[in-house]
Structure 1
Amino acid sequence: MYKITIVAGARPNFMKIAPIIEAIKLHKDLINFRLVHTGQHYDRKLSETFFEELGIPKPDINLGVKSGTQAEQTAQIMIKFEKELISQPSDLVLVVGDVTSTMACAIVAKKLNIKVAHVEAGIRSGDMKMPEEINRIVTDSITDYFFTTTELANKNLLNSGKSKDQLFLVGNVMIDTLNKNINRLSKPSFWDEVRLEEKSYFVMTLHRPSNVDEEYKLKSLITTIVENSKGKPIIFPVHPRTKKLLQNLSLNFENLHYVEPLGYLNFIYLIKNAFAVLTDSGGITEETTVLNVPCITFRDSTERPETCEIGTNVLVGSDLNKTKDAFDILNNGQWKEGKSPKLWDGKTAKRIVNELIKIFKIG
């Protein structure tokens, strides 16, 4: 019986581990897993709700790290995860994505001579100002087994000196969760109150420091969005970090609706039925690509270029003129048609677990 420790720390992690756990359970005679929640996201809407909605078993332990500076959070995760691994030895630590928990737990595992597998390995934005980019590079520099979403991710890893036998092109595990839950999506409670109609509203998410830390910049961006929205409702689930900043701004537009952070089933319902999505998130662009929903991304670079090259996503950065141009194309009904990348088919988790079984038998 092989023991795997699975790490989850923040909202995107939960959607990625859900199908992996489900696939592991099909081989419970071979693999025993322990689920560790670092507590990096502590807002209930951003953590516990996802375990309930996606059918993820309760974590075996919650490290309860919560917020802090990058250094404080990293240090706390490492200290607490080290104690966890010493008391609960494991054959392999599986980390997903690019959050602080991913990097911190990978470092701890390697220092304890435990193998590390990284799901969604090899993606790169080229922007070293992003904490996530540093997390990706550090994690991949010490990982043993790389589960990748695209051929480009494989190429990035090969260029960094990794060998082909360490790489496994398996697809995008986020799409496993999307496909499984597509018929379970539910209207948010405010749908009727705001009088939303399918394909007649925008969904907006903003949380990156480059967009929300400067009040003037944030105000200009939201004002430009509202001015080009043609009066369509804009639903803005406000990240706790952004909420504090918005309190200092007088952004009271009739069609701009601030809402609390949403659970997965409500949020994807909004995305699926939106006229378009406005975001600075990377992960959301994957879902809009598969759902064929137009997406305008307020970033200069992306670690998911396939969402732009063959998907529905367009980067506009912080350029308000580019933003206006994108809205013109959108409002004129000329947005490009997208398609799903190779292996983004809902079967990624099974591929991951099958490869893990082979790895255990070989190694």
Structure 2
Amino acid sequence: MVDAVNRFMNISNKRYSNSKWLETLKAENPHIPLLKEKEYYLATIHRAENTDDLMKLQTIFTALERLDKPVLIPLHPRTQKLVEKLNISFRNVTIIQPVGYLLMLYLTKNAYMVVTDSGGLQKEAYLLKTPCTTLRNQTEWIETLENG
């Protein structure tokens, strides 16, 4: 994972720097607000422990909605179906289609913070020195918890 992040982050930077990342997102998701690097949260929620209980999922989205910066969520299709059942309206959370690896690396590197239940994404955030809140009861990557 370290080798992949190091190799592909350079490619990602070349492809998406100078606001090209936002243009790319807007091409597929025209409803995206104007976002600036380091001024948004990047979130992913897909694990069964967070999505199988609709009340827990509602609590997570309520918390994301209350954050002090916009929240960008490339939402897993399974989670999208569950969110639709909740019939939540968002002001601070922007849901987009899943993105490819290179764009996800760029979004991770340039987020103010990552909020995720993804094991891979929490490790990538750690490697890219982006603060991360892990939405899991346990993690394989104990080094990601060094700062609490």
**TM-score, structure 2 as length reference:** 0.85
What is the aligned counterpart of 2:39 among 187, 196, 200? Answer: 200
Cα deviations by residue, 1:81-126 (Å, 9 ceiling, x for unpaired): xxxxxxxxxxxxxxxxxxxxxxxxxxxxxxxxxxxxxxxxxxxxxx
Secondary structure of the corresponding residue to residue 236 of structure 1: strand
Question: 2:73 & 2:39 partners in 1: Cα distance?
Answer: 15
Shift of 1:190: 2.5
Q: How does 1:1-363 map to 2 (within 5 A)?
A: 174-185=1-12, 186=16, 187-188=21-22, 189-190=24-25, 193-227=32-66, 229-230=67-68, 232-309=69-146, 314=148
> Amino acid of the residue matched to residue 178 of structure 1?
V
Secondary structure of the corresponding residue to residue 184 of structure 1: helix
Question: 1:278 & 1:239 partners in 2: Cα distance?
Answer: 14
> Amino acid of the residue matched to residue 181 of structure 1?
F
Question: 2:35 & 2:98 partners in 1: Cα distance?
Answer: 18
Q: Greater CA radius of gyration, 1 or 2? A: 1
Count of aligned pairs between the two proteins = 136
> Paired residue for 1:132?
none
Unaligned runs of 5+ in 2: none
Shift of 1:225: 2.2
Secondary structure of the corresponding residue to residue 190 of structure 1: helix
Cα deviations by residue, 1:9-56 (Å, 9 ceiling, x for unpaired): xxxxxxxxxxxxxxxxxxxxxxxxxxxxxxxxxxxxxxxxxxxxxxxx
Aligned-pair identity in percent equals 40
Cα deviations by residue, 1:120-153 (Å, 9 ceiling, x for unpaired): xxxxxxxxxxxxxxxxxxxxxxxxxxxxxxxxxx
Shift of 1:300: 1.2
Question: 1:178 & 1:209 partners in 2: Cα distance?
Answer: 26
Question: 2:64 & 2:71 partners in 1: Cα distance?
Answer: 9
Question: 1:217 & 1:307 partners in 2: Cα distance?
Answer: 23
Question: 2:92 & 2:25 partners in 1: Cα distance?
Answer: 14
Shift of 1:251: 1.9
Contact kept in structure 1, 2:114 and 2:132, CA below 8 Å: yes
Shift of 1:207: 0.6
Question: 1:183 & 1:225 partners in 2: Cα distance?
Answer: 30
**TM-score, structure 1 as length reference:** 0.36
Q: Which has the higher contact order (CA 8 A, sep 6+)?
A: 2
Secondary structure of the corresponding residue to residue 5 of structure 2: helix
> Amino acid of the residue matched to residue 106 of structure 2?
Y
Question: 2:73 & 2:42 partners in 1: Cα distance?
Answer: 6
Shift of 1:197: 0.4
